[in-house]
Amino acid sequence: MNAIISATELASESTGGTPPVLLDVRWQLSVAKAAGAAAFDGRAEYEAGHIPGAVFVDLDADLAGPAGAAGRHPLPDVDSFGAVMRQAGVSADRDVVVYDGGQGWAAARTWWMLRWTGHPSVRVLDGGLGAWEGPLETAVPSPEPGTFEPAPGAVGLLDADGAAALARSGILLDARAAERYRGDVEPIDRVGGHIPGAVSAPTSENVAQDGRFLPADALASRFKSLGASGGSGEVGVYCGSGVSGAHEVLALAVAGIDAALYVGSWSEWSSDESRPVATGPDPQ
């Protein structure tokens, strides 16, 4: 099963006898919110028009627990996550397709959560809603409840100690913008910089201008240049709070490389003053 699906493929599969469950997870990281500006309203965007049959999922409420010492988007309560997925119509024996507004981060977080909890067939709409050329609807569907029961641990998950160890023994990729990795700027977290030993790998470089992923061979070549390949040993990813990092894990999957996600990411790491911080362009 591929990790991504094109809009053309989705349109074709949606007319079949067993169309995939569609999840709309529109979300944006709002730095302005910290300054008191109104946050992006994904539900309002969904209600204004979505792919027919899609069910809205709220990243902050459904795909993450309360922000705190474990980071801005820690893992949610697994039972609550399972209940949300069942209410959306998710079952283990039915394909799931996830999309967002086009950035891909929120869709990738949903993809990763479902994969981590054992769903065998989840794909992200490549290019998001902007790639969809079919009709939109405003009616909110009421799907038949699904039967999905989460079984955590199906794919790799790192904690802070595991990320620190992997930065020394394997490849730990930092998916944030290069200036945040270097510590030149830090608009959100307590301090700028990166986990010592981590390699800068901005997730923005995994996609073309239209938001679609680069071809698998181009992604494989990029990750190989960063030290990560199918035979390079264990690979991990972190970002600011485990959202854009999920997008990089998805890009690695497209390239045929398995990777673990450090969900707490920099928002957790940097909140602990006892943990070391590296700055500048070099990993160490």
Q: What DSSP letter does each residue of 194-232 carry, written as one string?
A: B-TT-EE--GGGGB-TTSPBPPHHHHHHHHHHTT--TTS
Tell the burial category of 15 from Cβ atoms under 10 Å away from its Cβ (0-12, 13-18, 19+): exposed
User: Which active-site residues does the annotation give?
Assistant: 239
3-state helix, strand, coil in the chain (%, to 5): 35, 15, 55
Contact 233, 170 (CB under 8 A): yes
Q: What backbone torsions phi and psi does residue 111 show, to the nearest 5 degrees? A: -55, -45
The type of residue at 173 is L
